[in-house]
Amino acid sequence: LPPEDKADKSELLWTLLTQGMENMDRDVESIQKHIVNHCQFTLARTQFNLDSFGLYQATALSIKDHLLGMWNVTQQTFTNKDVKRVYYLSLEFLVGRALQNAVLNLDIEGEYSQALMELGTDLEKLYEEEKDAALGNGGLGRLAACFMDSLATLDYPAWGYGIRYRYGMFAQKIVDGAQVEFPDYWISYLNVWEIPRIDVSYSVRFYGEVRVVSDSPRVVEWVGGEVVQAVAYDVPIPGYGTKNCINLRLWSAKPAKEFDLQSFNQGDYLGAIEDRHKSENISQVLYPNDNTYMGKELRLKQQYFFVRATLQDILRRFLKRPREWEELPDKVAIQLNDTHPSIGIVELLRILVDEHGLEFERAWGIVVKSFHFTNHTVLPEALEKWPVELLGHLLPRHLDLIYDINYRFLQQVQAWRPGDMDVLARMSLIDEAHPRSIRMANLAIIGSTHVNGVAALHTQLLKTTIFKDFCEFFGESKFQNKTNGVTPRRWLHQANPGLAAVITSWLESDAWIANLDELAGLRAHIDNPELAADFARVKRANKVRLAELIQSTNGIEVDPDALFDIQVKRIHEYKRQLMNILAVIVRYLAIKEAVAGGASKAELAAAFVARVSIFAGKAAPGYHNAKRIIRLITAVADVVNNDPDVGSLLKVVFMPNYNVSLAEVIFPGTDLSEQISCSGMEASGTGVGKATLNGALLICTMDGASIEIAEEIGHDQVFVFGALASEVDGLRAQVQFNTPPDCAPLAKAKAAIRDGTFGNYDEFPLLLDSFSGRNDYYLINTDFESYLDAQARADAVYRDQDAWLRKAILSTAGMGFFSSDRTIRQYAEEIWGVKPCPRE
Ligand code: Z2T
């Protein structure tokens, strides 16, 4: 702290505060006292009303106290050293549960386990009491959470910024075979992990008008409209093997501090109070769309609310010391997680020009140097395009500035390609088609220094397709690749303690937890049958655990010795869960045919590898075809699972409410992981990393991160099939102009659906129509036989367990590159220019 802050504290208070930062004892007895203290005095529980949830809360509160001590010193270190900080701005942070993660990162599980055992409970059981923090949809949000873990672990001076949604990702129930959404009111009455900072609060304006204060020099003011308050809630993020602890700051909307005297003076006191509270709507709910843009005004309000508060907070920190504005990019790097926070580019420009009087070009130069932008998709339906009218109404001054930015930018484009009106129309921030709209990706590109994709193929596609003009204009060096990774702490160390122990014992070290490249050391033992036996034993135990969960949630009995074939991710046509279930139908029909042909049990076992086909994932509430796919999966499950001809040769399971905690059970129990997107469409995929890390084999197209994973673990380890990204356009054209008939197995599967084998549901004809003949945009027919062939190859290897285990070990062993630690180090060194800053 700067010395003057000491002045208002007595020597005693100063000393106690300084000592109090980290006087937490880690012995069992102190832990017990600390927990019981929280029971009695924070939660006001007595011996008569203390249940498991209360004990979980008290335990978590005691862990949070540990974190806060670390957190305070970490933040002071960043301040004292005046280091450059990185700010990760994301509308989503899909963190899941925090207790076990914190206990493991603090390396204090042994002590807590014993402390709680003596108190008559079980730490593992308390872990299960925690509700997931589901402030994200899928890959993009979970990536942000993995990044926070790596940023903390690697001691980077980083902050995450997001929104404290009152309702997270909806809970999914399956009712009569169909998805039904339920609200996720996740903060029951106390969220133990957050610290409300009522003292950290900023106002945010919407609507209103722009007034000219003076013409030359031109000064304008944005006035009127509605004002709401953003209040900070801080969530400490511990790292592994470090005493650093970083901050995730989430904003919650509250009524403005100032009273609008006018509305109160009108005599409608209760009405005026009611109006004020409408502002709280802004942070109420996470939009549940993955990979699709929804042009709702409330969503743009969320985006602006969040960046307005965040930028005020960042600048307040920057201005704590006397500075030149030109120093901003030396002290601040702002990473935009997709275009969702990209209105921040215009907001920083507005602050510098309107509030601090900087000349436009000077301000713009500073803005561009401060921002960097990650794109997560090439799907056109996901690219944000705000209607000009909507944006101009909500943020009138920002629309002015967007026009100014665009005018200057298009002049440069014109100078670059004189007379080329097409390039001008394509690169403009304004899409002139009706309704006219702002292209947020174009804004994010020209307002940032670096733009990155999330896997090698994805970045290549960005540069050659949707961002081609920009790549030619700015030069290639602006466009970088940062292949996604996952945190080995949550996705191996925490989720799969059995495999973690095996790895540690074979490597004779647990250094892999912080340096995943160490996994390569397993290759030295690849011919040792004992290693294979260890892998087999752990996988079997994890499959038993998963089978028990399936029994309790779905009431289906599955055989842990069957091949567990798993596709878990958001339901989306491009991810082709539909192709998967169609292949399951083909398998089912083949079993039926064999039985009808009089095959004996032994003949059936020789012809078919027993499989459990497991699906999980949420469909966006308005995405009808995705919901129909769920309906088909559950209908097939109903028939197959109850068909005595099939027995344990085939089971189909749709596990409801896929979330982070469920994923932690599913990936360790996966034999075969389905990564079967239509090539060129899955930007990266991160589930693929979690499965492979846990020793699953991949059945995959050459898409997203799978390409690089296959390269790292060896192509022999994966069952590859399907068209390449480079072939997709040509194949689509072919399907359009010279539509091929359905291949025989696909025709059979469709016929079975049509003839009512799986029931006669209204959804089915609509679903079948959506990908028939020329409509087959996702190339299911094109890839189908090649997919079946890959499945047959997987079956063949599974029959040879030694061969399978060898591939499983080599899969895990090759995953070093896909640690989010590697990804974050690359961002830090190649984009942000920030250095590790371990606390003093
Ligand atoms: C999302 O999860 C992803 C992309 C989006 O584009 C939006 C959302 Cl919510 C706007 C996913 C990609 O689909 C996936 O391939 C990728 O692995 C993940 O982001 C993280 O980069």
Mean pLDDT of the chain: 96
575: annotated active-site residue: yes
Which candidate, 472, 451, 483, places its Cα nearest to that of 371? 451
For residue 687, being part of any structural domain is answered with yes
Please tell me the distance from the alpha carbon of residue 61 to that of residue 65, in angstroms, as a whole number.
6
Classify 478 in phi/psi space as left (phi over 0), alpha (psi -120 to 50) or beta. Answer: alpha
For residue 46, being part of any structural domain is answered with no
Instruction: Tell me the C-alpha to C-alpha distance, in Å, between residue 594 and each of 130, 207, 400.
Output: 48, 68, 70
Please tell me the distance from the alpha carbon of residue 501 to that of residue 565, in angstroms, as a whole number.
25
Ligand 1 contact via 683 beta carbon (within 6 Å): yes
Cα radius of gyration rounded to whole Å, the chain: 28
Q: What integer is the mean pLDDT of 784-805? A: 98
Instruction: Tell me the C-alpha to C-alpha distance, in Å, between residue 701 and each of 652, 745, 809.
Output: 22, 20, 21
Domain count along the chain: 2
Q: What integer is the mean pLDDT of 282-305? A: 96
Q: 180: burial class by Cβ within 10 Å (0-12, 13-18, 19+)?
A: middle
Instruction: Tell me the C-alpha to C-alpha distance, in Å, between residue 571 and each of 73, 191, 630, 759, 830.
Output: 43, 30, 8, 22, 34
Same domain for 603 and 477: no
Please tell me the distance from the alpha carbon of residue 629 to that of residue 579, in angstroms, as a whole number.
10
Which candidate, 185, 148, 188, places its Cα nearest to that of 170? 185
Q: How far does the centroid of ligand 1 lie from the alpha carbon of residue 285, in Å? A: 19
Beta bridge partners of 451: 373, 479
724 close to 706: Cβ distance less than 8 angstroms? no
Asked whether the predicted pLDDT for residue 777 surpasses 90, the reply is yes
For residue 139, being part of any structural domain is answered with yes
Q: Tens digits of per-residue pLDDT, 80-112?
A: 999 999 999 999 999 999 999 999 999 999 999
Beta bridge partners of 195: 234
Ligand 1 contact via 91 beta carbon (within 6 Å): no
125: annotated active-site residue: no
Ligand 1 contact via 377 beta carbon (within 6 Å): yes
Please tell me the distance from the alpha carbon of residue 141 to that of residue 720, in angstroms, as a whole number.
28
Strands 672-675 and 563-568: parallel
569: annotated active-site residue: yes
376: annotated active-site residue: yes
Q: How far does the centroid of ligand 1 lie from the alpha carbon of residue 302, in Å? A: 19
Q: What integer is the mean pLDDT of 518-527? A: 98
Residue 198 phi/psi, 5-degree rounding, is -65, -15
512 close to 488: Cβ distance less than 8 angstroms? yes
| Index of the ligand 1 atom closest to the CA of residue 377 | 6
Ligand 1 contact via 290 beta carbon (within 6 Å): yes
Query: 757-763 long-range contacts, Cβ below 8 Å, gap at least 24?
Result: 757/639, 758/585, 758/632, 758/635, 758/636, 758/638, 758/639, 759/635, 759/638, 759/639, 761/177, 761/631, 761/635, 763/627, 763/628, 763/631, 763/632
Query: 500-508 long-range contacts, Cβ below 8 Å, gap at least 24?
Result: 502/531, 502/534, 502/535, 502/538, 503/812, 505/534, 506/531, 506/534
Please tell me the distance from the alpha carbon of residue 508 to that of residue 476, in angstroms, as a whole number.
44
Q: Tens digits of per-residue pLDDT, 721-765?
A: 999 999 999 999 999 999 999 999 999 999 999 999 999 999 999
For residue 442, being part of any structural domain is answered with yes
Please tell me the distance from the alpha carbon of residue 113 to that of residue 103, in angstroms, as a whole number.
10
Same domain for 466 and 510: no
* Ligand 1 pocket test target in 337, 339, 377, 486 with most atoms within 8 Å of CB: 377
Same domain for 461 and 503: no
Ligand 1 contact via 90 beta carbon (within 6 Å): no
Q: What integer is the mean pLDDT of 360-378? A: 98
Q: Tens digits of per-residue pLDDT, 320-355?
A: 999 999 999 999 999 999 999 999 999 999 999 999
Sheet-wide strand order for 430-431? 385-387, 437-439, 430-431
Asked whether the predicted pLDDT for residue 665 surpasses 90, the reply is yes
Catalytic-role residue among 164, 249, 308, 575? 575
- Band (pLDDT 50/70/90 cuts) for residue 420 is very high
Same domain for 497 and 477: no
Q: What is the largest CA-CA distance in the chain?
A: 93
Q: How far does the centroid of ligand 1 lie from the alpha carbon of residue 406, in Å? A: 28
| Angle 44-48-50 from CA coordinates, rounded to 5° | 60
Ligand 1 contact via 689 beta carbon (within 6 Å): no
Q: Domain range spanning residue 701?
A: 488-818
Ligand 1 contact via 453 beta carbon (within 6 Å): no
Question: Percent of the chain, pLDDT > 90?
Answer: 93
Same domain for 215 and 136: yes
Q: Which strand (E) or helix (H) includes residue 207?
A: none
Same domain for 492 and 407: no
DSSP single-letter state for residue 132: P
Q: How far does the centroid of ligand 1 lie from the alpha carbon of residue 271, in Å? A: 42
| Index of the ligand 1 atom closest to the CA of residue 683 | 15
Beta bridge partners of 178: 175
Q: What integer is the mean pLDDT of 463-487? A: 98
Per-residue burial over 284-322, b = 16 or more CB atoms within 10 Å of its CB, e = otherwise: ebbbbbbbebeeeeebbbbbbbbbbbbbbbbbebeeeee
How many CB atoms within 10 Å of residue 232? 23
Ligand 1 contact via 105 beta carbon (within 6 Å): no
DSSP E strands: which ranges in 5-143? 85-89, 93-96, 133-135
Please tell me the distance from the alpha carbon of residue 541 to that of residue 535, in angstroms, as a whole number.
10
Give the torsion through C-alpha atoms of 506, 508, 511, 516, to 10 deg: -20
Same domain for 229 and 294: yes
- Band (pLDDT 50/70/90 cuts) for residue 5 is low
Q: How far does the centroid of ligand 1 lie from the alpha carbon of residue 377, in Å? A: 6
Q: What integer is the mean pLDDT of 11-40? A: 86
Strands 430-431 and 437-439: antiparallel
- Band (pLDDT 50/70/90 cuts) for residue 25 is confident
Lookup result for tokens 């996702």: 778
Beta bridge partners of 238: 245
* pLDDT given at position 773: 92
Ligand 1 contact via 339 beta carbon (within 6 Å): no
* pLDDT given at position 191: 96
Ligand 1 contact via 376 beta carbon (within 6 Å): yes
Q: How far does the centroid of ligand 1 lie from the alpha carbon of residue 617, in Å? A: 14
Please tell me the distance from the alpha carbon of residue 198 to that of residue 760, in angstroms, as a whole number.
56
How many CB atoms within 10 Å of residue 622? 11
For residue 41, being part of any structural domain is answered with no
How many CB atoms within 10 Å of residue 3? 6
Same domain for 433 and 508: no
Please tell me the distance from the alpha carbon of residue 167 to that of residue 134, in angstroms, as a whole number.
9
Ligand 1 contact via 704 beta carbon (within 6 Å): yes
* Ligand 1 pocket test target in 291, 570, 660 with most atoms within 8 Å of CB: 291
What angle do the packed helices 396-416 and 360-370 form, to 10 degrees?
90
One-letter amino acid of 665: V
140 close to 100: Cβ distance less than 8 angstroms? no
Same domain for 306 and 410: yes
Which candidate, 93, 180, 172, places its Cα nearest to that of 137? 93
* Ligand 1 pocket test target in 294, 376, 440, 690 with most atoms within 8 Å of CB: 376
CATH of the domain at 802: 3.40.50.2000
- Band (pLDDT 50/70/90 cuts) for residue 390 is very high
Same domain for 566 and 505: yes
Ligand 1 contact via 742 beta carbon (within 6 Å): no
For residue 225, being part of any structural domain is answered with yes
Please tell me the distance from the alpha carbon of residue 591 to that of residue 596, in angstroms, as a whole number.
9
Q: How far does the centroid of ligand 1 lie from the alpha carbon of residue 328, in Å? A: 30
Q: What integer is the mean pLDDT of 210-219? A: 93
Ligand 1 contact via 565 beta carbon (within 6 Å): no
Same domain for 418 and 558: no
* pLDDT given at position 244: 96
Which candidate, 811, 780, 374, 768, places its Cα nearest to that of 575? 780
Q: How far does the centroid of ligand 1 lie from the alpha carbon of residue 682, in Å? A: 8
Catalytic-role residue among 690, 732, 750, 807? 690
Ligand 1 contact via 452 beta carbon (within 6 Å): no
Ligand 1 contact via 140 beta carbon (within 6 Å): yes
Joined together, the tokens standing for residue 126 give 């308390």
For residue 423, being part of any structural domain is answered with yes
For residue 111, being part of any structural domain is answered with no
Beta bridge partners of 676: none
Residue nearest atom 1 of ligand 1, based on CA coordinates: 140
One-letter amino acid of 671: D
Q: What integer is the mean pLDDT of 692-699? A: 98
835: annotated active-site residue: no
504: annotated active-site residue: no
Asked whether the predicted pLDDT for residue 1 surpasses 50, the reply is no
Same domain for 510 and 630: yes
For residue 748, give the 3-state DSSP assignment: helix
DSSP single-letter state for residue 678: P
Q: How far does the centroid of ligand 1 lie from the alpha carbon of residue 375, in Å? A: 9
Catalytic-role residue among 45, 397, 463, 569? 569
Q: Tens digits of per-residue pLDDT, 277-293?
A: 899 999 999 999 999 99
* pLDDT given at position 261: 76
